Homo-oligomer: A and B are copies of this chain.
Amino acid sequence: MPEKVYQPLIQNIRETVSISEQELMLVLASFQPKVLSKKEILLQKGDISNHMRFIADGSLRVYYLNEKAQEYTIQFGIKGWWVNDLYSYLTHQPANYFIQALQPSVVLQIHRDSLNKLFDQIPSLERFFRIKFEKAYVALQERTLHRASLSAKDRYEQFRAQYKDIEQNIPQYVIASYLGITPEFLSVLRSQE
């Protein structure tokens, strides 16, 4: 695996905390790359998520199935972002969500036990994750409480602003389920652009 694949993670850490070169090498050595083909499942409902996961290349989505086996996409993840069923990771409970690659992707993974050991050695890394968990809290609140108050048109515009680089890789029906609308209504919104 070429070193290049670690660059987005190095950047992500360095833009959040100050960390020495030596500490950074120690951190990177604990992340394993996982190569995913298009549509490959990274995490299944029912599995326990034991890793924190960083997207080094490509894009993924997080979705669940309702009791009628319909897919609801709740989140997208693009290069430079973290992706997980964080509730499963934090509680050791089986995941409620699936995580799937939308295109050929590379994810860097660190096991919970390795991460906890590193926290003892590298306080900067603990700061990094303290800040990440703060952001995860904010994102969850925005997703569950605030987004419900936006109109479908506003949600679509927010989606386009956030995910413009990957929009062309995402099937229509996935975007529609993320927006909570039908594919037909998505076409109407697009024709108004």
Q: What residues make up the interface of A, taking CB atoms closer than 8 Å to B? A: 86-87, 90-91, 119, 123, 126-127, 129-130, 133-134, 136-138, 140-141, 144-145
Contacts and interface: CB of A to CB of B under 8 A. Distances in A.
A90 B137 contact: yes
A141 B140 contact: yes
Nearest to A144: B144
Contacts of A134: 90, 133
Contacts of A86: 137
Contacts of A136: 137
23 contacts: A87-B137, A87-B138, A87-B141, A90-B134, A90-B137, A90-B138, A91-B138, A123-B123, A123-B126, A126-B126, A126-B127, A126-B130, A129-B130, A130-B130, A130-B133, A133-B133, A133-B134, A133-B137, A136-B137, A137-B137, A140-B140, A140-B144, A144-B144
